[in-house]
Amino acid sequence: MTNATTTSTTRVRPEDERAFIELAFKTVGVDEGHARDIADVLLASDIRGIESHGIARLRWFYVDRIRLGTINRTPDYKVVRETPTSFLLDADNGLGHPPSILAMKKAIELARENGIAFAAVRNSNHYGIAGYYAMMALEHDMIGMSSTNSIHFAIPTFGRAKMQGTNPFAYAVPAGEEPPFVFDFATTTVTYGKLEIYERKGLKLKPGWAVAEDGNPTDDPTKARFGGALLPLGGFGTDNGGHKGYGLGALSEILCGVLSGGAFGLELSKEEGPRVEGGITSHFFGAMRVDALRDLADFKRDMDRELRDFKNSAKAPGCDRIYVAGEIEHEKTLEYRRDGIPLVDKVWEDIDALAGEIGIPPLRRFTAG
Amino acid sequence: MTNATTTSTTRVRPEDERAFIELAFKTVGVDEGHARDIADVLLASDIRGIESHGIARLRWFYVDRIRLGTINRTPDYKVVRETPTSFLLDADNGLGHPPSILAMKKAIELARENGIAFAAVRNSNHYGIAGYYAMMALEHDMIGMSSTNSIHFAIPTFGRAKMQGTNPFAYAVPAGEEPPFVFDFATTTVTYGKLEIYERKGLKLKPGWAVAEDGNPTDDPTKARFGGALLPLGGFGTDNGGHKGYGLGALSEILCGVLSGGAFGLELSKEEGPRVEGGITSHFFGAMRVDALRDLADFKRDMDRELRDFKNSAKAPGCDRIYVAGEIEHEKTLEYRRDGIPLVDKVWEDIDALAGEIGIPPLRRFTAG
């Protein structure tokens, strides 16, 4: 439910992180409103404990690509199609977050008027955590969803070529007194970042995580990273349902890439890196009014009971708690708002270097009092 | 992608199977139109090679429950709520298939007018394969989806009490020359039927499939079946993504049970059997026009390329073919239409006994020839 493996105690205050990200983007020529959008999404990731998708990516995934010109710093969005329940935006190879916020807002607005709506963005780039966009629906008492495709990291069942990304889906469902159900998951067993962490720590991969270049399962993170590939959720072959993770990943690529008229298939079989071709990522969004089917108060009361039924059910040996989706992230948010967000040394080094390069003040350390 | 483990060579002609199922239901007092609906869904399952959900369930899941009165043979459906993009039906504890066909038809009709629509059915019973309803969208050039909850067979991550069903999701996406993408999957690693097959054959379960009563993983199908439980897709704990299967199962129960105002949570923690309380199952449906985002011909052309890119990609060692979702079932359909549907001896015994009990002619064997 979280990728956090934090050990560092050097923390940052959320408002400082937000201001730093915003300033970094403005400094390299990104529109102020867009810079604010991106800061919001990256901060949401860090504050939820999903450290892989937050400020850790600021330099490598975003600012470097803006500076290299692989991402268009001044995109000219185009509305490709719009109906009372649908919206398609071409993001002109700009950063992925601002057009995604725009598209999800549009989906919410159309759903408010018509009950349910969907939207897609094509010709875009990494949009951060899928959960951010799904969660935008919550304050409108709607169920939200989002998915994104990406360049390919994972093999299909019975294959050995990388044919799909980590292609996450996220769903957010409002509750009453309980935190909302926020379910944001990659359709691969683990993400690429996990291979890097295991390699750094000299650990062996678990079965079901990755294959080597020859297409056979491997527990060696280096072999998996160089020439190898991730496995879909469910692992190798079909014994543990690997075809289900493969199907989910393919569904994401279809909804995001094919349905939007964006890139898909072999067009996404590229190696990740700052010079990877921009504009080949696409996203999908949906929003649905709860009260199109049920009275809101009844629904929220029942959601509370549903979530509590899970949490109060009997625990497995050695386990003292059962979580529902989004609960760990919710608790991280409360903690990090109070105590600051811990960032690992490598991230501090990276953003300090970035600050120096683009000539902005370094991000301030925060020590809880 | 298929649960088929057929070895029997005793086959049945599709039209004979359909007529037999229809007659069986009419004989026990089910309305003719409803009997036709059920026959259509059960036959669709068998002809796609999903033998677990077809005529094998006729007696135990459906006819016996009608005869015992646990399912209402003459339900009085009630439209609970309807908007231009949503529809909620109370099925009055009738059989699950007819109200589900009605609800999916309604979703398709509303989506035709408004781009996208969703529907739910509550107070229902088993509805057969989720894929049937998703596939109803295909002939309308729409993307279809469906999910159903059920009584509980699986533990949540870190739990040991059964808190969710096999809760499948199905998605159907039209293509051009290629068969459609039809992705229908249980959110548990395997279904309950697989435990039975492994027990019968004296085989050990694979890791990630099930736990024993004490909540620890087991490879003993008997221990799993009696007091134990299924594991969510991704298996035990979180190492292989078990929390993702758990989240998907919970999402299904929320969309089907909570959003419809049907049964959910502990109300579904019952033991399966002909006398299990009826009307505690709920279903969810969606339909979305492809041309709300893209021109249909372009989309179909691109779907063909997407599916072919997967299929033509490099094969893993020892594998000579990569499938896309629905492809195996599509090929089974072509074969079984021509040669008849193979049914295992146990199923023949069961339906012969049923025919005797309710006084209808036994189902005719078909020998290709």
CATH code: domain of residue A159: 3.30.1370.60
Residue pLDDT, tens place only, A102-115: 999 999 999 999 99
**pTM of this prediction?**
0.96
Mutation target to probe the B interface, by most B beta carbons within 10 A, among A87, A233, A258 is A258
- Which positions ≥6 away from B53 have C-beta within 8 Å? B42, B45, B128, B129
Residue A3 lies in a domain: no
Q: How many residues does chain B have?
A: 369
Three-state DSSP state, B337: helix
> How many whole angstroms separate alpha carbon B248 and alpha carbon A324?
11
Q: Are residues A115 and A254 in the same domain?
A: yes
Residue A152: alpha-carbon gap to chain centroid: 15
Q: Are residues A63 and A110 in the same domain?
A: no
Whether the complex's predicted ipTM is more than 0.90 is answered with yes
CATH of the domain at A368: 1.10.1530.10
Three-state DSSP state, B75: coil
Residue B212 lies in a domain: yes
Q: Are residues A81 and A181 in the same domain?
A: yes
Give chain A's domain count: 3
Q: Are residues B140 and B262 in the same domain?
A: yes
Sign of the CA dihedral with A272 first, then A274, A66, and A20 last: positive
**Which residue in B has a C-alpha nearest to residue A171's C-alpha?**
B251
Q: Which of A230, A255, A279 is the last residue of a domain?
A: A230
Return the structure tokens found at B51.
């033998």
Which residues of chain B neighbour A298 with C-beta distances below 8 Å?
A: 261
Residue B330 lies in a domain: no
SS (H, E, C) A88-149: EEECCCCCCHHHHHHHHHHHHHHHHHHCEEEEEEEEECCCCCHHHHHHCCHHHCEEEEEEEC
Is the CB of B316 less than 8 angstroms away from the CB of A211? Answer: yes
Taking one residue from A and the other from B, the number of pairs with CB-CB distance under 8 angstroms is: 269
Return the structure tokens found at B238.
């979180």
* Backbone torsions φ then ψ of A309, nearest 5 degrees: -60, -45
**Which residue in A has a C-alpha nearest to residue B238's C-alpha?**
A1
Do A282 and A121 touch, CB atoms closer than 8 A?
A: yes
Q: Which of A180, A198, A230 is the last residue of a domain?
A: A230
Q: Are residues A226 and A258 in the same domain?
A: no
Residue A1 lies in a domain: no
Q: What angle do CA A322, A328, A329 make, to 5 degrees?
A: 155
CATH of the domain at B214: 3.30.60.50
Residue A6 lies in a domain: no
Strands A281-289 and A142-148: antiparallel
Is the CB of B157 less than 8 angstroms away from the CB of A302? Answer: no
DSSP one-letter code for A156 = P
Do B225 and B142 touch, CB atoms closer than 8 A?
A: no
Measure CB to CB from residue A118 to each of B84, B251, B288 and give the nearest one.
B288
Measure CB to CB from residue A310 to each of B143, B208, B250 and give the nearest one.
B250
Is the CB of A214 less than 8 angstroms away from the CB of B317? Answer: yes
Residue A2 lies in a domain: no
Residue B337 lies in a domain: no
Q: Are residues A90 and A207 in the same domain?
A: no
The C-alpha of A332 sits at a distance from chain B's nearest C-alpha, in angstroms, of 18
Q: Are residues B172 and B224 in the same domain?
A: no
Q: Quote the strand ranges of B115-185, DSSP E.
A: 116-124, 142-148, 169-173, 181-185
Q: Are residues A275 and A128 in the same domain?
A: yes
Q: Are residues B53 and B101 in the same domain?
A: no
Residue pLDDT, tens place only, B167-176: 999 999 999 9
Q: Are residues A213 and A152 in the same domain?
A: no
Q: Are residues A168 and A42 in the same domain?
A: no
**pLDDT value at position B271?**
85
Residue B331 lies in a domain: no
Domain, as residue range, for A246: 75-189+238-325
The C-alpha of A319 sits at a distance from chain B's nearest C-alpha, in angstroms, of 6
**Which residue in A has a C-alpha nearest to residue B315's C-alpha?**
A159
The C-alpha of A182 sits at a distance from chain B's nearest C-alpha, in angstroms, of 9
The C-alpha of A264 sits at a distance from chain B's nearest C-alpha, in angstroms, of 7
Q: Where are the alpha helices (DSSP H) in chain A?
A: 14-27, 32-47, 64-68, 97-114, 130-135, 192-201, 221-225, 242-253, 296-311, 327-339, 345-358
The C-alpha of B227 sits at a distance from chain A's nearest C-alpha, in angstroms, of 13
Which residues of chain B neighbour A232 with C-beta distances below 8 Å?
A: none
Return the structure tokens found at B228.
């134990």
Q: Are residues B213 and B146 in the same domain?
A: no
Is the CB of B120 less than 8 angstroms away from the CB of A303? Answer: no
Count Cβ atoms within 10 A of the Cβ of residue B71 and give its class: 0-12 exposed, 13-18 middle, 19 or more buried: buried
The C-alpha of B262 sits at a distance from chain A's nearest C-alpha, in angstroms, of 10
Mutation target to probe the A interface, by most A beta carbons within 10 A, among B254, B255, B296 is B254
Under the phi-then-psi rule, with left for phi > 0, alpha for psi from -120 to 50, and beta for the rest, what region is A69?
A: left
Sheet holding A78-83, edge to edge: A78-83, A86-90, A116-124, A281-289, A142-148, A169-173, A181-185
Is the CB of A322 less than 8 angstroms away from the CB of B116? Answer: no
Measure CB to CB from residue A244 to each of B158, B185, B310 and give the nearest one.
B185
pLDDT in tens, chain B (369 residues): 344 444 557 999 999 999 999 999 999 999 999 999 999 999 999 999 999 899 999 999 999 999 999 999 999 999 999 999 999 999 999 999 999 999 999 999 999 999 999 999 999 999 999 999 999 999 999 999 999 999 999 999 999 999 999 999 999 999 999 999 999 999 999 998 899 889 989 999 999 999 999 999 999 999 999 999 999 999 999 999 999 999 999 999 999 999 999 999 999 998 887 788 899 999 999 999 999 999 999 999 999 999 999 999 999 999 999 999 999 999 999 999 999 999 999 999 999 999 999 999 999 999 755
